[in-house]
């Protein structure tokens, strides 16, 4: 009788141990599971691009925010209009997209996350030039470079329309920065990050060091991640993303990503950026 009781106790102990180990194994598997979602994306360097490390700054922010919540994002790049259609169509299972400015039309079709970025338009100028401005009357009389086909703030465009600004139009941003370095123009308006992207791709570190961007923006816009309203899971996805974004910001990673992008660390092919070959 004592032997039989001992065998039962041993068998029970084995079962308990096996159960505990199976529970641990299940927890490990669940912890390692990683949901994968698909996003549409487009070319807008230095923010989004297949040619950039991590597919650009916005893609890096979105990917890392979702990773905080154990979700991996895969990107498919399209022309922006086509990607938007695919996102709304839902036939290819896209959960969201990124790099959008809020508008009433879009708000009817999309849920918007917390802002992932605030884009600033600023006046680039040489550090050796004593330049300051508070309103557009302060830039009257200066030689201003612009890029053909680009629009700036409504106030800038109105001053241009009224003939108050002395403007030289060129076909490329790099040409304007070249004119700036040669002293042929005094200021050049551009999105700050797009401007630094051009500088890192086309100019040496020595030349870049000569240029700065005025701290007062002439325009700013908040940028969002978006999710289609015709997807039943989008509301939950917005909440999940926002939680991950807050975690990034609290850890200091968000600011670091922006700093790295502006330093040219996401570039792949720049002949001037030494880190591009690493």
For residue 201, what pLDDT is reported?
86
Residue 26, number of CB atoms within 10 A of its CB: 10
Residue 221, number of CB atoms within 10 A of its CB: 14
Distance CA 166, CA 30 (A): 64
How do the pLDDT tens digits run along the chain, 278 residues long?
554 544 544 454 444 444 444 444 443 334 447 899 999 999 888 899 999 999 999 999 999 999 999 999 999 999 989 999 999 997 789 999 999 988 899 999 999 999 999 999 999 999 999 999 999 999 999 999 999 878 788 899 999 999 999 999 999 899 999 999 999 999 999 999 989 889 988 999 999 999 999 999 999 989 999 999 999 999 999 999 999 999 999 999 999 999 999 888 888 754 443 333 32
Q: Which of 200, 177, 204, 175 is nearest to 188 (CA)?
A: 177
DSSP conformation class of 19: H
Torsion of CA 247, 249, 251, 255, to 10 degrees: 150
Cis amide leading into 14 (omega within 30)? no
User: Exposed, middle or buried by CB within 10 Å (0-12, 13-18, 19+), for 213?
Assistant: buried
Domains of the chain: 35-118+222-277 (3.40.190.10), 120-219 (3.40.190.10)
DSSP 162-219: TT-SEEEEES-HHHHHHHHHTTS-SBEEEEHHHHHHHHHHHS-HHHHTTEEE-SS-SE
For residue 262, what pLDDT is reported?
84
């Amino acid at each position: 009788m004592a032997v039989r009781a001992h065998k039962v106790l041993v068998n029970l102990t084995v079962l308990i141990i096996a159960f505990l180990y199976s529970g641990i194994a299940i927890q490990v598997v669940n912890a390692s599971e990683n949901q994968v979602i698909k996003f549409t994306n487009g070319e807008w360097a230095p923010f989004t691009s297949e040619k950039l490390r991590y597919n650009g700054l916005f893609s890096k922010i979105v990917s890392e925010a979702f990773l905080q919540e154990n979700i991996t994002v895969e990107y498919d790049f399209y022309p922006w209009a086509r990607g938007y259609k695919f996102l709304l169509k839902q036939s290819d299972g896209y959960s969201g997209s990124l790099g959008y400015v809020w508008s009433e039309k879009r708000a009817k079709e999309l849920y918007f996350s917390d802002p992932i970025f605030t884009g600033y338009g600023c006046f680039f100028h040489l550090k050796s030039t004593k330049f300051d401005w508070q309103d557009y009357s302060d830039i009257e009389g200066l030689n201003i470079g612009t890029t053909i086909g680009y629009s700036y703030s409504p106030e800038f465009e109105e001053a241009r329309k009224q003939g108050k600004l002395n403007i030289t139009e060129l076909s490329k941003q790099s040409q304007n920065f070249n004119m700036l370095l040669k002293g042929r123009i005094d200021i050049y308006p551009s999105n700050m990050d797009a401007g630094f992207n051009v500088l890192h791709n086309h100019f040496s570190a020595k030349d870049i060091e000569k240029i700065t961007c005025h701290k007062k923006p002439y325009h700013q816009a908040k940028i969002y991640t978006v999710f289609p309203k015709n997807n039943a899971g989008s509301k939950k996805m917005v909440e999940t993303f926002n939680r991950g974004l807050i975690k990034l910001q609290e850890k200091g990673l968000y600011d670091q990503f922006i700093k790295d992008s502006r330093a040219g660390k996401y570039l792949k092919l720049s002949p001037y950026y030494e880190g591009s070959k690493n």
